[in-house]
Structures are given as C-alpha cells and as structure tokens.
Amino acid sequence: MPSHSDLILNAFIIFLPLIFYRPFYKDKQPLFMYVLFLIPMIITMTFPVKIFDSVIDLRGIPLVIGSLYGGLYTTFLLFGSLLAYRQLLGDIDLFHYFLSLLPTIVLLLFLSKSYEKASANKRMLLVSGICFFLRVTVVNLYALLEGKTSFFMESFVPSLPIIFVQCIMAMMLVFMIEMIRTQNRMQEDIIQAEKMKVVSEIAASVAHEVRNPLTSVRGFIQLLSDPVLSDRKRKEFSTITLEELDRAESIISDYLSLAKPQSERLEPIVLEEELNKASQILSSYANLQSVEIVTDIALPATVYGSKSKFRQAIINIGKNAIEAMPGGGMLTLTYTVNEPKRTVTITIADTGIGMNEEQIKRLGAPYYTTKDKGTGLGTMVIFSVIRGMNGTIDVRSKEGAGTTYFITLPLTQH
C-alpha cells in the first residue's frame, strides 16, 4: 500500500514554486525557472511513494511545467539534472533511462511554441496530457529495454489511479500559475490605467490654468484696439498683457516640473498688493461680463507661500465668480486680520447664481464642476494651494444669492 505521508509530502512540494513565481514571473530567466522547478523535482525524487513493486513520485510535474514555462534552456537543464541525480541515486541503466525520456523531450520541444500561445484551459489539458505521456512512455520503455515484459500488467496498470492523480495535480498547479499571471496582468493594467488617468488630469489641468491668463490677454488686446484709449492706459494694459503671458509660461513650467519636482520659491506675500493685482488682471474679463470688481482693504497683512501659486488661486476663484454672474453683478475682494490668533481671512464674494449644499460639498474634487464647460480642476488647484499654505477654505452659498469664499491663512511671524 502506498505511504500516505510520502504522497502528501510530494503533493505539497510540487506547489512550492507558487510562493516565488509571483514576484518574478515577468523575468522568464531560464536559470531562475530552472532553480524554481529543480528543487521540487529533486525533493520528490528523494522521497518517492512505493507502490505495486514500483516507485512513483511526482517528479514529472515540475519537470514538465518547468520546461514549458521556462523555455528551451530550462528544458535541457531540467532533464540533464534529472539524469544526473537519478544516476546519483543508483540502481539504473542511465542510457536506457535517457532513451525512455527522449520521446517526452521531443514532445515538449514540439509543443513549446503552441503552449506559449495557448489559453489557460488548453495549457491545463496540455500539461495533463504530457505528464500522462511521460509516465506511460518512461516506465514502459525502460521496462521493455530492461527485458521486463510482464511489467505493464503487473505494476503499471495497477498504478494508473496514482498516475491520474498526478495528472490532476499538474492541472491544479497550472491553474494556480495561470491565476497568478492573470492577477499580475490585471494589476499592471490597473497601474497603467492610473498612470493614464493622472496624465489626463494633468493635461486637463494645464489647459484649464493656461486658459485663465489667455482669457485676460484676449480681453486686454480687445481694449487696446479702442482708438480713444489714452497712452497711459495703453501702456498699463500692455504691461499686464505681458505679465499674463509670463504667468501662462510659468504655469506650463510648473506642470512640466512635475516630472522632476523642484523646491518652489516661498516668500512673504503682501495681501494688499496681490488682491489689487488680481483685481487688475480680472478687470478686462469682468468688463466683458458687466461685472464690477470692488476691493475693500483696511489693514496691511502678510502671509507666507508661493506668490505665483497664491495669485493663481485667487484668480481662479475670481474667474469662477465672474462666470457665475452671466447677467452682471459685483465681485468683492477683501480681508480681515485676527491679531490674537495671528490669522487673516480673505473674503471673495459674488452676487451670482450660487450653489446648493451638495455642490458645495463636492467642490475641490477632480473633474467636478458646476459649469456646463469645465473640468473642475481649477477649483481642485485652489484647495491644493491653500492647503499647501497651511490655510483653510470655507465656502458659503445659496442658490440665487451668490457665493462667498472665506480663506483663512496664518500671518507671517515678525
């Protein structure tokens, strides 16, 4: 009767490659695949199952599967190691044993290309068939070469159930390997999809952010075409136009630097100057929309951060506010200082169409926008910039009554 412990040990050993196959399955290095399947082959040969005056082990499973997944060099290495170790174990005619293995070697070489293109189910059937073929040809050819004509009926036929179990185990191992390969491919596809999503978000964000200064430039160029415009205004508008083009270039440079992030320039930001500057930049676009911009500044205040990004965030809010007043209205920019808490609260209010509570909750989420045309990335940039300055944003709005942004930032230390 077979030794159940040895059979269970053989079954456990042949599944060992699964532990190490997952992290290295893409490499397909012949030497790695050889070692991966050599170890279970040697162990199963060392601890075989004795049954019906014969010795049965599961060496055929790692031998066949390792050859099919490892390629030509792995095949020759595994069969060469099999012959060498079998000679070391003794009590065998090595030449006869090689001749009995030869049909299986030829079959594996013949089917290797087909196996690479086969589906998972077909691979399971191929491995099962090859394992059965290996066992049938090796034991019977070797017995025939040794002159044991009665071996087929006396030992081989009674061992057929164990051989079928071996074939089923081979199918199970291939099934698990294919599951690992499928899962790894799915994981790679997910990672690639995430990368493409990030790229698309960046592309959409670049287009959105560059559109803001270009819109201002377009407005000022239209104003410059007015023949009654004074030379002082013409020079002022030309200067702002050039500054906005420089800002567009700076925005593009910032996004290009994502590939090689660099430390951004942090500096004191005088709020009075920045709000007035933002008001000037937005003025042309506001005039086209019949929107009046009011700045109400009483006390000086200075915060710390990236001046260009802060200006970009304020302009984004202002532009969104102007677009929320299609019939005209008023945009107010102001701030209040809280000396005890050492904070300043910037208030940007419009008299536009407003938002409901659900829209307010979703502000700042990628691709969420309340506009018919937009990506929502402009608002996401606003929240990101303010958080980067250790600030907070509170948005209050009511449909039909306008929207107010409260941006609280820490004051610079004296």
| pLDDT in 10s for each residue of the chain, 414 residues | 445 666 777 778 888 888 777 766 665 678 888 888 999 999 888 887 766 555 667 888 999 999 998 888 999 999 999 999 999 988 888 899 899 999 999 999 999 889 988 998 999 999 999 999 998 888 888 888 888 776 666 666 767 777 888 889 899 999 998 898 888 888 888 888 887 876 776 677 677 777 778 888 888 888 888 888 888 888 888 888 888 887 787 667 656 644 554 556 788 999 998 899 888 888 888 888 889 999 888 788 899 888 888 888 898 889 888 988 888 899 999 999 988 899 999 999 999 888 888 888 877 665 556 655 545 556 777 888 888 889 999 999 888 889 999 999 998 865
Token pair recorded at residue 348: 């940007």
How far is 377 from 313, CA to CA, in rounded Å? Answer: 11
Report the distance separating Cα 126 and Cα 130, nearest Å.
6
Give dist(CA 50, CA 398) in Å, integer: 84
Question: Which token pair is 256?
Answer: 């290009």
The whole-angstrom separation of Cα 162 and Cα 48 is 12
Question: Cβ atoms within 10 A of the Cβ of 327, count?
Answer: 10
How far, rounded to the nearest angstrom, does the alpha carbon of residue 255 sit from its chain's CA centroid? 20
Taking the C-alpha atoms of residue 51 and residue 155, their distance in angstroms, rounded to an integer, is 8
Under DSSP, the state recorded for 159 is G
> Is the pTM here over 0.95, yes or no?
no
Whether 345 contacts 408, CB under 8 Å? yes
Q: Which amino acid is present at 268?
A: P
Give me the torsion for CA of 288, 289, 294, 295, rounded to 10°.
-70
